[in-house]
Structure 1
Amino acid sequence: MTDRTARPDGSGAVTAGAPGETDWAAAVAAVRALPPDARIQLICHVNPDGDALGSMLGFGLGLRQLGVRRLRATFPGPPEVPEPFRDLPGLDLLVPEEEAYPAPELVVCFDAASESRLGALVDRLETAGCALVLDHHASNTMFGGINLVDPRAAATSVVAEELLTRLGVSLDAAIAECLYVALTTDTGSFRFEATTPAVHELAARLLATGIRPGDISRRVFDTRPFGAVRLFGEALGRARLEPEAAGGRGLVWTYATLDDLARHGQRPYVLEALIDSVRCTAEADVSCVVKQVRPGEWAVSMRSKGAVDVSRVAVALGGGGHRFAAGFTGRGTADEVVAGIRAELDKALIGA
């Protein structure tokens, strides 16, 4: 059930594609209709970032406040939480994917634009009594039975907070910290275009619970191992600038290999922040980091400053995302992966 009608955003403008009242009502009903002993499985996307983990755990803590007893959270792949998020409340909800409920009464998916982002857990969409999707990616394939997908939302945590409010959950410091980490992650600490007045209003409500934004920001954005600092220096040293790419708007890119990670004793998640150091290049609108995940396979992160819709590039190459932040899985060598990106950039120019 999905009502894809337009409804006003916080500024009074009308935006198409946001969830309609029938969607919200269906989601609330799906939760409230569950029997007391119902099993609820929460799933976020592979290689979870702050929005995926924070939205999932914050929502889980809200369900626990409502009295839900049989509740598990997970994500596909190794059960390793990135270091910046290891102090999040609600981590006790996490189980390895092998321990996820095989046939829950309700499965709730967070921050996943497509089924492929659920990995081996995708079968829960079929075995669950009901599948609910919370997301904010415009490229979402609407794979749930109930889809709360709001492309105008700055983060999935915005959608999660709205549903928690409609369910009658009261914000406490634990829920708020999870949602705040999610919100700051996807807004780049409130620096990206998606940072609207409504985003700041939500942040204010979360801060009013007593959470400490300075401590959270230092943990999430400003702390990394010295080995990661050296790895970043090496990767930035091999960065390449292509001023003629993207119709002359410019492309800057770099890569990091499994050997790089091993040499500096680092885990793959440390590379998620590398794109922020690359994207500041003044001569390029588009930035890209190509991260090896196994021989011949790369996780690709792309950013745009406004001239290129990188989600169009990502979708063309099998991925997805937002206009100015997107990604996909590439195969071949790093040069071959970037060649594929380069070939799509001119077609993704905004206004062309």
Structure 2
Amino acid sequence: MLAAASDVVLLAHVNPDADALGSALALGLALHRRGTGVHVSFGAPDRPAESLRALDADGLVVPVSAVPEAPELLVVLDTGSVDRLGPLASRVDAAGATLVVDHHVSNGGFGTHFLVEPTAEATAVIVLGLLDALGAPLDLAIARCLYAGLVTDTRNFRAASARTHDMAARLLVAGVDAEAVTRPLLDTHPFSWLGMLSAVLSTATLEPDEARGLGLVWACAGSEHIEGGRQEEVESIIDVLRTTAEAEVAMVLKQVGPARWRANLRSKGGLDVAAAAATMGGGGHYSASGFTADGRVADVVEEVRQALASAPLL
């Protein structure tokens, strides 16, 4: 399908992370090099996160308004459900064909064709396999996009298999500067981040008896905490909270409306938080999932407690 298409639209989920946008750009760059017409986009926000903008080496990212209404071939990457496309969800049914490339265990299937590998640590792993099947050269720009996806979704390769380490080695051989790619993604924040992080962590609550007795730690990032903050700063809160030794599961509730909360759930590998997130109407991976809920914080947290109480052990 990819080799035969003359024009391809590649979509990442709203608020794309490095794996979603990096995967879309890596595949888009390879197709662009073949002479294929390429548009890469996502439903929100208007521009990629600042730390991801350097990945768009050829200027393939376009705004929502520039995405064709009825693409010849639509490729949706790293997106577990069609609602995660936001205002671009209508392109799925309008496209001549829709290929879903994903690694979310909660992906229920949408579009017309599927390449879903829940055992892959990142969608970038699947995309590299696609590039090999296409016979696409692994140049530096493509390798940087793939490396960004690998390093973030494996938590700096701490959750990477031997096969994925081999893939990373291929990308380094292609010329990737690991430090230069990783630093802006994981190790760089403005000074204001320290104040925001301090305010959110002051709300942290440890519940050692929850999550089937394995422990839950959670914090609430209200609009007053995160207003004006960069997406990557807000998303990084969970990585600090999850270091709590007494808790298997960490959760950050981020206020996105007067009584609406977007939650990040993380586990250390002992409990399936994707199952818990699915109970809340969301989804994701066994150890990294999310959902959106309406209501009072106390009520949302109680629902999460109940969902975690029945989540499978891993």
Indicate whether the TM-score tops 0.5.
Answer: yes
Matched residue, 2:300: 337
Tell me by how many angstroms 1:232 deviates.
0.6
CA distance in 2, matches of 1:226, 1:256: 18
1:167 matched to 2:142? The reply is no
1:203 matched to 2:168? The reply is yes
Contact 1:43 / 1:74 at 8 angstroms: preserved in 2? yes
Given residue 292 of structure 2, which amino acid in structure 1 is its aligned partner? Answer: T
Contact 2:14 / 2:45 at 8 angstroms: preserved in 1? no
1:23-172 counterparts in 2 under 5 A?
Answer: 30-34=1-5, 38-68=6-36, 70-90=37-57, 92-172=59-139
Matched residue, 1:278: 241
1:188 matched to 2:155? The reply is yes
Given residue 206 of structure 2, which amino acid in structure 1 is its aligned partner? Answer: L
Tell me by how many angstroms 1:332 deviates.
1.2
SS across alignment from 1:328: strand
Given residue 208 of structure 2, which amino acid in structure 1 is its aligned partner? Answer: P
Q: If the length of structure 2 is used for normalisation, what is the TM-score?
A: 0.97
1:237 matched to 2:208? The reply is no
Contact 1:75 / 1:97 at 8 angstroms: preserved in 2? yes
SS across alignment from 1:32: coil
Per-residue CA shift, 1:3-47, capped at 9, x if unaligned?
A: xxxxxxxxxxxxxxxxxxxxxxxxxxx12222xxx3311101011
1:259 matched to 2:227? The reply is no
Q: If the length of structure 1 is used for normalisation, what is the TM-score?
A: 0.87
SS across alignment from 1:157: helix
Contact 1:246 / 1:349 at 8 angstroms: preserved in 2? no
Matched residue, 1:20: none
Tell me by how many angstroms 1:183 deviates.
0.6
Contact 1:261 / 1:268 at 8 angstroms: preserved in 2? no
Matched residue, 1:221: 186
Per-residue CA shift, 1:273-293, capped at 9, x if unaligned?
A: 111100010111110011111
Given residue 251 of structure 2, which amino acid in structure 1 is its aligned partner? Answer: C
CA distance in 1, matches of 2:280, 2:265: 12
CA root-mean-square deviation: 1.3
Given residue 48 of structure 1, which amino acid in structure 2 is its aligned partner? Answer: P
SS across alignment from 1:71: strand
Matched residue, 1:302: 265
Per-residue CA shift, 1:108-152, capped at 9, x if unaligned?
A: 000001111111211111111110111001111111211000011
Contact 2:14 / 2:84 at 8 angstroms: preserved in 1? yes
SS across alignment from 1:104: coil
Alignment gaps of 5+ in structure 2:
none
1:249 matched to 2:193? The reply is no
CA distance in 2, matches of 1:288, 1:116: 22
Tell me by how many angstroms 1:272 deviates.
0.7
Per-residue CA shift, 1:305-337, capped at 9, x if unaligned?
A: 133210000011111111111111111122222
Structure 2 vs 1, CA of residues 89 and 63 (structure 1 numbering), >3 Å: closer, same or farther? same
Alignment gaps of 5+ in structure 1:
1-29
Tell me by how many angstroms 1:91 deviates.
6.2
Matched residue, 2:275: 312
Tell me by how many angstroms 1:54 deviates.
0.5
Structure 2 vs 1, CA of residues 241 and 115 (structure 1 numbering), >3 Å: closer, same or farther? same
CA distance in 2, matches of 1:197, 1:99: 40
Given residue 108 of structure 2, which amino acid in structure 1 is its aligned partner? Answer: T
